[in-house]
């Protein structure tokens, strides 16, 4: 797991947050995780296949995820229904797609497995002997995590 793999996802996250929410996330800290990614209440998980294999997880506190959908839709949002979870998943998908475009410029060709959205109490993710980098980002509507666990195939 190389730190360089995190940057395209971090950059794409910043770009898309700026574009969709007019929010500019700032990096707070970076941790290496060995066995478990601690989740917050709402998580979007993207699987990655190809030259790099593994996944990327965005994890948000509930109030922040509600605020995100509120900003986008201009509607009152009190629960993460299918509409909201689909929008969150799609934001993750678009960030992932942009990051993969960036990686492809370095001859790393990958694909995204459609996002899964988990809503509930702090869903954690077991890493099964992989290492992950967890980047905590701060914004005006809360703090969230971007975790990247990717290894080069073969």
Partner 1 sequence: MWKDSYSIGVDLIDEQHKELFHRVWEFARVIRSSENWEDRLEQVKETMDFMKDYVITHFNDEEEYQEEINYPDIEIHKQAHAKFREGINQYVELFEKEGLTEEKIQEFGGKLMTWLIVHVGKMDQLIGEFVRSQGGQNNES
- Helices 62-73 and 6-21 cross at an angle (nearest 10°) of 50
- Residues in Cβ contact with 81 at an 8 Å cutoff, skipping those fewer than 6 apart: none
SS3 3: helix
Looking at the Cβ atoms of 12 and 133, the one nearer to partner 1 is: 12
Q: How far is the CB of 39 from partner 1 (least distance, A)?
A: 21
The CA-atom distances, in angstroms, between 92 and each of 44, 97, 99, 128 are 7, 8, 10, 23
Which residues in 84-123 contact partner 1 (CB under 8 A)?
Answer: 84-91, 94
For the CB of residue 103, give the shortest distance to partner 1 in the complex, in Å.
20
Q: How far apart are CA 115 and CA 97, in angstroms?
A: 11
Tell me which of 16, 45, 110, 148 binds partner 1, using CB under 8 A.
16
Binding mask 35-74 for partner 1 (x = CB under 8 A): -------------------------------------xxx
Q: How far is the CB of 75 from partner 1 (least distance, A)?
A: 6
Cβ 112 vs Cβ 98: under 8 Å? no
CB 128 within 8 A of CB 33: no
* Shortest reach from residue 87's CB to partner 1, in Å: 4
Footprint of partner 1 on this chain (CB under 8 A)? 16, 19-20, 22, 72-75, 81-91, 94
């Amino acid at each position: 797991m190389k730190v360089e793999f995190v940057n395209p996802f971090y950059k794409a996250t910043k770009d898309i947050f700026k574009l969709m929410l007019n929010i500019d996330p700032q990096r707070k800290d970076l941790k290496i995780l060995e066995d478990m990614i601690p989740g917050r209440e709402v998580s979007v998980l993207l699987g990655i296949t190809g030259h790099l294999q593994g996944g990327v997880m965005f994890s948000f506190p509930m109030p922040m995820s509600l605020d995100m959908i509120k900003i986008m839709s201009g509607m009152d949002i009190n629960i993460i229904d299918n509409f909201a979870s689909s929008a969150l998943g799609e934001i993750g998908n678009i960030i992932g797609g942009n990051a993969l475009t960036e990686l492809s410029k370095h001859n790393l060709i990958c694909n995204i497995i459609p996002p899964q959205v988990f809503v509930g109490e702090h869903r954690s993710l077991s890493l099964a002997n992989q290492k992950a980098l967890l980047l905590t980002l701060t914004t005006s509507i809360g703090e969230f995590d971007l975790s990247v666990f990717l290894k080069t195939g073969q």
